[in-house]
Amino acid sequence: AQSVTQLGSHVSVSEGALVLLRCNYSSSVPPYLFWYVQYPNQGLQLLLKYTTGATLVKGINGFEAEFKKSETSFHLTKPSAHMSDAAEYFCAVPSNFGNEKLTFGTGTRLTIIP
Partner 1 sequence: GAGVSQSPRYKVAKRGQDVALRCDPISGHVSLFWYQQALGQGPEFLTYFQNEAQLDKSGLPSDRFFAERPEGSVSTLKIQRTQQEDSAVYLCASSLNRGNQPQHFGDGTRLSIL
Note whether 27 binds partner 1 by CB under 8 A.
no
> Which of 7, 22, 26, 31 contacts partner 1 by CB under 8 A?
31
Other residues' Cβ atoms within 10 Å of the Cβ of residue 102: 16
Note whether 1 binds partner 1 by CB under 8 A.
no
> Which of 43, 53, 83, 114 contacts partner 1 by CB under 8 A?
43
Q: How many residues bind partner 1 (CB under 8 A)?
A: 25
According to DSSP, the residues that pair with 104 across neighbouring strands are 92
* Residue of 15, 12, 13, 20 whose CA lies nearest to 91: 20
Least distance in angstroms from the C-beta of 19 to partner 1: 19
**Element of type H or E holding 75:** strand 73-78
> Which of 5, 72, 77, 95 contacts partner 1 by CB under 8 A?
95
Contact 97, 110 (CB under 8 A): no
Note whether 49 binds partner 1 by CB under 8 A.
yes
